Amino acid sequence: MVRALRALRGFPAVLFTLAFVVVVVATNVRLAFNSLALYELGFARNEVTTTTRLTEAQLSEAGRQIRDYLGSSQEPLDVRVTVDGTSRPIFTDREVLHMADVKQLVGKVYRVQEGSFLFLALFIAIGFFVQGNEFGNRVRRLLIEASVLTMLVVGGAGLAATVAFQPLFLLFHQLSFVNDLWQLDPYTSVLLQMFPQRFWLETTVLIGAASIAESLLMAVLLTMLIWWQQWQVRVAQRKAPQFT
């Protein structure tokens, strides 16, 4: 019974650690989906102008429309580019339907990120309300542990992705979508030509690297803060009057 109670008391701390991992990774995913510069970088690195026969300006405009669509209530997706003075859609009906599924998935990621962030904020606020300033040391150590866990989880996932990205990418689609609309022909699908598998691999690596860098910075800064506070305490103790 005592062990069960101790485990129960530690459960919020476990949730805090896991929520931190989710917030860091999901926030970087959200930033990536909203970064037109990242889209344009991927288009250039994958020579999308050659495969799609669209100009850089047309691709940039298409990327902007996709980014705006994912963050809006607009339905359906209607990406248009101007060719010879005429505006025309570039995606087929199947691609449009698949992007609706993608939008739902992205929205779920955003909601999970927001919920996890809210949990972290409530955990910290309640902790300070109940324990006062004494909670500061605990939350700093929890953040260090969560940062280390983030680096381990993201590093392991990144290693797996670089070694076996294609089967993992396939598994992701099989688990994330209940239909086969994502099965498009890379030779004819403008959507796949704009966002080939290499684009997603490089984006995944970038998100992972950013998550690890941010977690490492968090852990280093908090560790230095703890050391500085401990050093301050030792200095104060040495300066305190000694009574014999």
Task: Please check whether residue 235 lies inside any domain of the structure.
Answer: no
Boundaries of domain holding 73: 2-221
Q: Are 165 and 197 in contact (CB under 8 A)?
A: yes
Could you give the count of Cα atoms lying within 13 Å of 187 in the half-sphere of its Cβ? 0
| pLDDT of amino acid 3 | 55
| pLDDT of amino acid 238 | 78
| pLDDT of amino acid 7 | 44
Give the model confidence (pLDDT) of 154-176 as tens digits.
999 999 998 999 999 999 999 99
Structure tokens at 70: 């994912």
CA–CA distance from 199 to each of 24, 33, 39, 136, 169 (Å)?
Answer: 21, 12, 9, 42, 12
| pLDDT of amino acid 192 | 97
Give the model confidence (pLDDT) of 217-240 as tens digits.
999 999 999 899 888 878 877 776
Residue 85 CA from chain centroid, whole number: 39
Structure tokens at 100: 């609706």
Task: Please check whether residue 125 lies inside any domain of the structure.
Answer: yes
Number of structural domains found in the chain:
1
Give the DSSP H/E element, type plus range, for residue 88: strand 86-89
Per run of 10 residues, the mean pLDDT along the chain (length 244 residues) is: 48 92 98 98 97 96 97 95 88 98 98 98 94 90 96 96 94 97 96 97 97 98 91 79 61
| pLDDT of amino acid 133 | 85
Q: How many CB atoms lie within 10 A of CB 159?
A: 11
| pLDDT of amino acid 96 | 98
Task: Please check whether residue 244 lies inside any domain of the structure.
Answer: no
Task: Please check whether residue 209 lies inside any domain of the structure.
Answer: yes
Q: Does the pTM exceed 0.85? A: yes
Q: How many CB atoms lie within 10 A of CB 27?
A: 19
Task: Please check whether residue 44 lies inside any domain of the structure.
Answer: yes
Residue 150, burial from CB neighbour count under 10 angstroms (0-12, 13-18, 19+): buried
Structure tokens at 24: 């860091």
Task: Please check whether residue 230 lies inside any domain of the structure.
Answer: no
Task: Please check whether residue 82 lies inside any domain of the structure.
Answer: yes
Task: Please check whether residue 110 lies inside any domain of the structure.
Answer: yes
Residue that the structure tokens 């280390």 belong to: 148
Enumerate residues 6+ apart whose C-beta is below 8 A from 139.
124, 127
